[in-house]
Structure 1
Amino acid sequence: MRLTLLFLDTDNDYFQIYVKQEGNELYFSDDGYTINSLEIAGFTMTPNRRKQLSSILGQYGVQLQKKELTLKAPTNQFAPKKHAFVQCLLHVSDMYMTSRTKAGSFFLEDIQYFFQKNEIYCMENVQFTGKSGFSHNYDFAIQRSKSKPERLCLAINNPTKTAMGNAIFAWGDTKPSRRNDSQLIVFLNDSNNVGKGIEEGFQSYDVSPIRWSERLKPENISLLTA
């Protein structure tokens, strides 16, 4: 049996759940829709997010089987268990909204996961003192190798002209204290809008912008690896 619920998901579609009865037991399922919708929306299931998901499922007694959310219940508890299952789906779907409100920290987490998966070895959250005497923080520093220079990286979750200006100022102040061939790479979260002229602005200062959606392009992987 398929039930359509009066709740909207991240795509503004109505939630649907499936209920099957076997003897005196009911089986609720979302047929994998909730997790798949998150992934289609660009949500990466990192270890911290998986821990958050497990906590939500534990509150409602819901199980995760591959990507399918399921709940088993006695037939005489249909109403309360259906309510619990629906509340669980809503909370899991809200993880997408949480990722947007806490996007800065989650964007960093996505980059860390991407680095680990592609064996890009780096130091995290490094600080350098610039020519002005001010200290500037960089999210990642990739050590120089025989063929590549030192590369500092910044994650820019909201790629606006203000964010670009701040990054360029920090780099202009930092660069004189680093090796002449040191480079700055900025990751632009293009799930948010990338402001007009942002990439060109960075390039005019010899800064390499990488759109997050294009991180797997061979030229970007080459830029990051030793």
Structure 2
Amino acid sequence: MEEIKTLIDQYVAWLGSKITLRQVADWIEITTPYLDRNNDYLQIYARRQNGSYILTDDGYILDELEISGCKLESPKRSALLEMILNGFGVKLVNGAMEVSASKDDFPLRKHNLVQAMLAVNDLFYLASPMVTSLFLEDVIAWLDENEIRYTPNVKFTGKSGYDHLFDFVIPKSKKRPERILQAINRPSRDEAGATAFAWIDTREVRAADSRAYALLNDSEKPVSPSVMDALNSYEVYPILWSKRQEMVEELVV
């Protein structure tokens, strides 16, 4: 317990030390330590308005995806976008992802906006023009094909008070405990760290025998051993997409 608490405290301290602020007209630019697919630090903008605060990405995420050729015009992609934003309580205002916050819930609302930015960026970014379907769609099709029961897009509030959105929860059965499954389209140390933190923060409010898995897309390139090690060290069990059939029995029962 104390070891995990120390790790969480270190993570929160690291977040605070990596955040920088800059005045831009009547907005405050907040640079976070989270990286987008271009290895640029995610930035959001905040300003006071009518006694509260407006936080926005200024349209960055959707503009970048559009420039990359990933249009969100199809009904299925629009529905997926809306589902993610609703899961984090984020609104789409003139192409920008936006939340409003009070002094009391500012940290939580900022956290939700950044997590929504990461989720949308990861879900819709197509690594190659030859990719014909989204990784999450492939995962859903695989779960359905193997008759693995699941509830999609489940949000849990962790011990810290932050909300964490998990892609799938496989309910407890007579033989297996509750299983939480996160699909990671672009496995990296940052993505592994975010998933590990979400699980560390959440596991204490779930059943003691609950297990977490990360399904890693290795279709385009091999997953780094450092990513696998990072997940394993926090008891998030990695599953390579190329070896997914080896895990069917553990998930289907």
* Residue from 143, 168, 171 that aligns with 1:115: 143
Q: Return the offset for 1:225.
A: 1.3
Deviates more, 1:153-162 or 1:196-205: 196-205
Counterpart Cα distance in 2 of 1:212 and 1:137: 21
Which of 221, 226, 237 is equivalent to 1:197? 226
Q: Give the drift of 1:98.
A: 6.2
Q: What's the CA shift for 1:195?
A: 2.2
Q: CA deviation at 1:157?
A: 0.6
Amino acid at match of 1:205: Y
1:163 and 2:191 are equivalent in the alignment: yes
Matched, 1:173 2:173: no
* SS of the residue 1:222 aligns to: helix
Cα distance change of structure 1 residues 98 and 129 upon mapping to structure 2, 3 Å threshold:
farther
* 1:114-144 superposed Cα distances (whole Å, 9 cap, x missing partner): 0111000100011000001010000000000
Aligned match of 1:81 = none
The structure 1 segments of at least 4 consecutive aligned residues displaced by more than 3 Å after TM superposition are: none
Partner Cα distance (1:223, 1:167) in 2: 20
Q: Is the contact made by 1:187 and 1:212 (CA closer than 8 Å) also made in structure 2?
A: yes
Match of 1:97 in 2: 129
Aligned partner of 2:249: which letter?
S
Structure 2 Cα separation of the partners of residues 205 and 162 of structure 1: 14
Larger Rg, first or second structure (1 or 2):
1
Give 1:207's match in structure 2, choosing from 236, 240, 243: 236
Distance, in Å, in 2 between the alignment partners of 1:196 and 1:142 is 27
Structure 1 unaligned runs (5+)? 1-47, 49-95
Distance in 1 (alpha carbons) for counterparts of 2:178 and 2:171 = 5
Task: For 1:151, give the aligned amino acid.
Answer: R
Residue 26 of structure 1 is matched in structure 2 by: none
**TM-score, structure 2 length as denominator?**
0.48
User: Of residues 216, 220, 226 in structure 1, which corresponds to 2:245?
Assistant: 216
Contact 1:126 1:139 in 2 (8 A): yes
Q: 1:185·1:208 contact (CA, 8 Å) conserved in 2?
A: yes
Q: Can you give the 5+ residue segments of structure 2 that lack an aligned partner in the other structure?
A: 1-75, 77-127
Q: Does the aligned pair in 2 maintain the 1:141–1:152 contact within 8 Å?
A: yes
CA contact (8 A) 1:190 1:213 kept: yes
Look up the SS of the partner of 1:97 in the other structure: coil
Residue correspondences, number: 128
Q: Equivalents in 1 of 2:148, 2:245: separation in Å? A: 13
Distance 1:111 1:180 in 2: 26
**Distance in 2 (alpha carbons) for counterparts of 1:182 and 1:135:** 18
**Structure 2: how far apart are the matches of 1:137 and 1:159?**
17
2:139 and 2:166 map into 1 onto residues whose CA distance is: 13
Amino acid at match of 1:136: H
Superposition CA RMSD, Å: 2.1
Determine if contact 1:126/1:141 at 8 Å carries over to the other structure: yes
SS of the residue corresponding to residue 250 of structure 2 reads: helix
